[in-house]
Amino acid sequence: AQSVTQLGSHVSVSEGALVLLRCNYSSSVPPYLFWYVQYPNQGLQLLLKYTSAATLVKGINGFEAEFKKSETSFHLTKPSAHMSDAAEYFCAVSAQLSGGYNKLIFGAGTRLAVHP
């Protein structure tokens, strides 16, 4: 069964510092992996996705993630944090179900705080 684990429920960085949010996956087949961001009282917005085309994936708002099969990781990074990056971030994997269906399974989430 596919799953994702996000390491660190809270991450705090200074404005301008590197952002690193960790996600490890478990999957017996090549996975589709996603990062979503959720601002307070909002829905989820897709930041980026890995679909096996390239291991380094660039997303919106300056975020990128690198798929590392050897480490079963898909960590999210941004070189320089902005105050507006403060939000909840969810890593997700597309899980195969019986009947050929797929559904997204989310990690527990990481709350990113950005300090001046």
Instruction: Please tell me whether residue 74 binds another protein under the rule CB under 8 A.
Output: no
From CA 52, how far away is CA 63, in angstroms rounded? 18
Instruction: Please tell me whether residue 98 binds another protein under the rule CB under 8 A.
Output: no
- State the SS3 of 43-73: CEEEEEEECCCCCEEECHHHCEEEEECCCCE
Instruction: Please tell me whether residue 108 binds another protein under the rule CB under 8 A.
Output: yes
x/- map, 34-63, another protein, by CB under 8 A = x-x----xxxxxx--x-x------------
Are 87 and 38 contacting, i.e. CB atoms less than 8 angstroms apart? yes
Total residues contacting another protein by CB under 8 A comes to 25
Which residue in the set 58, 69, 82, 103 belongs to the binding site for another protein (CB under 8 A)? 103
